[in-house]
Structure 1
Amino acid sequence: MAVIVALGAFLMTLAGGWAAQRVTDRRHLVLGLAGGLMLGVVGLDLLPEALHAAGDEFLGVPLALLLFVAGFLVAHVAERLLAVRQAAHGAENGQGHRVPQVGLTAAAAMVGHSLADGIALGAAFQVGGGMGVAVALAVITHDFADGFNTYTLTSLYGNDRRKAQLMLFADAAAPVVGAASTLLFTLPEEPLGAYLGFFGGVLLYLAAAEILPEAHHKHPALSTLLCTVGGVAGIWLVVGLAD
């Protein structure tokens, strides 16, 4: 049953990526919405789930929060190092560009998140039908945002359309692979919570330091801000319905 539901997530992810491709003439609105969706996913979905699953504290601070901060810092350091390296090459060539590897790395993190979604889906159906339905609703509905963000992140950093579509397909297939894996084994809750905390920090950095500033750079319009707020509100609605 979990694998069948994951196929729905597969289609929803592709639909999100397709939507991101079709609105290229309103790029600032796309980025504003993507930033809002990512902020909502991190603050209202990933972080609460990580805090619940990871549980343990280290020196008085929940492990999930420590890894959340670590993920933010790792993303910042990695982006700065890649930017410095690219700037050096740009100086040699007389030009500067965004770093495509950052987009691919961010999209790969989205694939990892979707894989964790599939594993959580399979584990929920192992617990019971009611739990499986609740998790299925959450996974399927927010996978539209995952597909939207995966395509946007990949293309934002200068990767071509083929690479963006390849990462989108990998993100769409990940929940199916994750759900199928639970037929063979069950992932302990604590490592999954730790991963979600770290991944949440990475996503928050990308949303706050890259996507939202880019959205408002050339189009500081009210419509862009409303798209961001709407993205957060949409994830809040999804989380509320899933609960």
Structure 2
Amino acid sequence: MAVFVALGAFLMTLFGGWTAQRVTDRRHLVLGLAGGLMLGVVGLDLLPEALHAAGEEFLGVPRALLLFVGGFLVAHLVERLLAVRQAAHGGDPHGPAGPGHTHGHGPGRDGRVPQVGLTAAAAMVGHSLMDGIALGAAFQIGGGMGTAVALAVIAHDFADGFNTYTITSLYGNDRRRAIAMLVADALAPVVGAASTLFFTLPEELLGSYLGFFGGALLYLAAAEILPEAHHDHPARSTLLCTVLGVGFIWLVVGVAG
């Protein structure tokens, strides 16, 4: 049953990525919505679940929050290291090809490094894999729990697909790579759900992962996606899309709860 439900998540992820592709003429709105969806997923879904699953304290602070901060710092460190490494190899976003030109190897738009986008998308794939594992575990617990988790997973996998394609493209990767990461993200929950037929993931480990991933995702939303959304189009409509993104995730979490 869990694998069958995960097929719904597969389709919803692809639909989210397709939506992100179709609105390229409204890029600032896409990024504003993506930032809101990411913020909502982190604050209203990932972090509460992480605190619940890995709530033990270390030196007076919940372990999930320590990992949350660690994920934020690691994402920042990885981006800076990749940017410095690219600069050391002579990368220049304003070189002969002109601003924003990229073949998938040098800096992307505004000097962004494509590897950062791929790394972030890979983290999204990992998150979707854990979604599938959580889905399978929920159905092992009971039908009611499985239904609630299935609703949450399928609904917010639209945001996952939307964000995976957007993040990969934002950092200068070509359409082929963005689609490849989108397909990987769509397949991940199916693989995760199927894997629960063979093993059970400890709840504490799952909570720790969600905390760390939430911190990394928040960094991308707050330091990259939202500033980019408002860079060329500081419009109220962009801010409204961000608020709508957060509200959508709030609705999903509320209905699933």
Q: TM-score normalised by the shorter chain: which range applies?
A: over 0.9
Q: Name the counterpart of 1:221.
A: 235
Shift of 1:93: 8.9
Shift of 1:87: 2.7
Q: Which has the higher helix share?
A: 1
Shift of 1:21: 0.3
Correspondences of 1:111-130 after superposition (within 5 Å): 111-130=125-144
Aligned mates of 1:94, 1:142 — CA distance in 2: 37
Shift of 1:33: 0.3
Q: Name the counterpart of 1:6.
A: 6
Q: Name the counterpart of 2:179.
A: 165
Q: Name the counterpart of 1:38.
A: 38
Letter of the structure 2 residue corresponding to residue 87 of structure 1: A
Please tell me whether residue 64 in structure 1 is matched to residue 78 in structure 2.
no
Q: Name the counterpart of 1:26.
A: 26
Letter of the structure 1 residue corresponding to residue 183 of structure 2: F
Aligned mates of 2:94, 2:48 — CA distance in 1: 46
Letter of the structure 1 residue corresponding to residue 72 of structure 2: F
CA gap of 1:153–1:92, structure 2 versus 1, over 3 A, is closer
Q: Name the counterpart of 2:51.
A: 51
Q: Name the counterpart of 1:187.
A: 201
Identity of aligned residues (%): 85
Aligned mates of 1:236, 1:208 — CA distance in 2: 18
Letter of the structure 2 residue corresponding to residue 159 of structure 1: N
Please tell me whether residue 79 in structure 1 is matched to residue 79 in structure 2.
yes
Letter of the structure 2 residue corresponding to residue 238 of structure 1: V
Q: Name the counterpart of 2:217.
A: 203
SS state at 1:183 partner: coil
Shift of 1:55: 1.9
Aligned mates of 1:83, 1:59 — CA distance in 2: 34
Number of residue pairs the alignment of both structures matches:
243
Letter of the structure 2 residue corresponding to residue 57 of structure 1: E
Deviations 1:119-171 (A, max 9, x none): 00000000000000000000000000000000000000000000000000000
CA gap of 1:54–1:12, structure 2 versus 1, over 3 A, is same
What runs of 5+ residues in structure 2 fail to find an aligned partner?
96-106
SS state at 1:35 partner: helix
Letter of the structure 2 residue corresponding to residue 17 of structure 1: G
Q: Given the two structures, how large is their TM-score scaled by the length of structure 2? A: 0.92
Letter of the structure 1 residue corresponding to residue 8 of structure 2: G
Aligned mates of 1:238, 1:153 — CA distance in 2: 22
Deviations 1:77-125 (A, max 9, x none): 1111111222333467963632000000000000000000000000000
Give the RMSD, CA atoms, in angstroms: 1.2
What runs of 5+ residues in structure 1 fail to find an aligned partner?
none
